[in-house]
Amino acid sequence: MRIEDIDLIMAMGKYHSYSPEYHFSAILQLRNSMLERKSEVIDRMVETDYRKKYGTYANREYEQDWINVVYVPAAYSHLVATALSTFIESMLSHEFHNLSLNPNYKTPLNDHVRWKLETSDFWNPKRVSTSNGKPNKKYNLVKGSIQLLEALEIENKIIPTVWDAVECLFEYRNVVVHGGFEWKNSTIEKFSKLIKSRGWKKNFEEATSNKKVWIYYLSESTIESILSNCQSMYQLFDMELKNGLNEFYGKK
């Protein structure tokens, strides 16, 4: 048995150091505990009743309720977006690396332009191939992953709409990481235009001030969809790796 055979076996078995199911479980637990907290604080306060409840002048109790109804959901949305995007990026990098150990993928399967890339670039999901087979200077995880799946002829095993949701998630993550809870007006306007042009309005809920968007939150249906698709993705990679091993060693 060769060293690369041992690496391949370890990549598919219980000795594999990377465990996406454990990471995913941790995200689910984080999300569920925060969702419970978010639901509790919103149920306790109806935003439109605050003047009746507190009068003209805000007091400390009012401030805490305002934090609960506006900023707790924002914190929840930011944390889930950051955790999910980190998981997806890590998962794709690890799982494509595992597939690269499959002997069936050592030579080109077709004439896809990505096969012209150097091996390290080919298996890097952040790397995108140009139309002439050169590495694009700009990284793009979604486009690179789609190219890789096409080159490996397994793109039809993942629902196409998954990538649109993942791209939306990453765009949101990038803004909240650098923009915080309350974005500059120019940032809100730019993101609002992006949402409209990409058809992502259904993916978000809003807090408004003077009838203008103040804070964007990921909608719960979007979070549910991404969670479900993440689980399907890492299960697909696991199945592809095992099928490749069985096929390769079955021929021996």
At 1 the pLDDT is 40
Structure tokens at 115: 């096969």
At 37 the pLDDT is 72
Below-50 pLDDT ranges, the chain: 1-6, 9-10, 12-16, 47-48, 56-57, 248-249, 252
Percentage of the chain beyond pLDDT 90 is 42
Residue 247, H or E segment: helix 220-250
Give yes or no for a contact between 69 and 50, defined as CB atoms under 8 angstroms apart. Answer: no
* Residues facing 161 on adjacent strands: none
At 130 the pLDDT is 94
At 86 the pLDDT is 92
Please choose, from the candidates 194, 222, 215, the residue with its C-alpha nearest in 3D space to the C-alpha of residue 84: 222
Taking the C-alpha atoms of residue 164 and residue 143, their distance in angstroms, rounded to an integer, is: 10
Taking the C-alpha atoms of residue 101 and residue 241, their distance in angstroms, rounded to an integer, is: 9
At 252 the pLDDT is 46
Segment 28-48, tens digit of pLDDT: 888 888 887 777 666 665 544
CB atoms within 10 A of CB 147: 21
Taking the C-alpha atoms of residue 143 and residue 140, their distance in angstroms, rounded to an integer, is: 6
Structure tokens at 225: 């969809």
Give yes or no for a contact between 144 and 114, defined as CB atoms under 8 angstroms apart. Answer: no
- Ordered DSSP codes for 103-166: GGGSS-SS--GGGGS-HHHHT-TT--B-TTSPBPSS--HHHHHHHHHHHTT-GGGS-THHHHHH
Taking the C-alpha atoms of residue 228 and residue 231, their distance in angstroms, rounded to an integer, is: 5
At 248 the pLDDT is 47
Segment 129-152, tens digit of pLDDT: 999 999 999 999 999 999 999 999
At 176 the pLDDT is 94
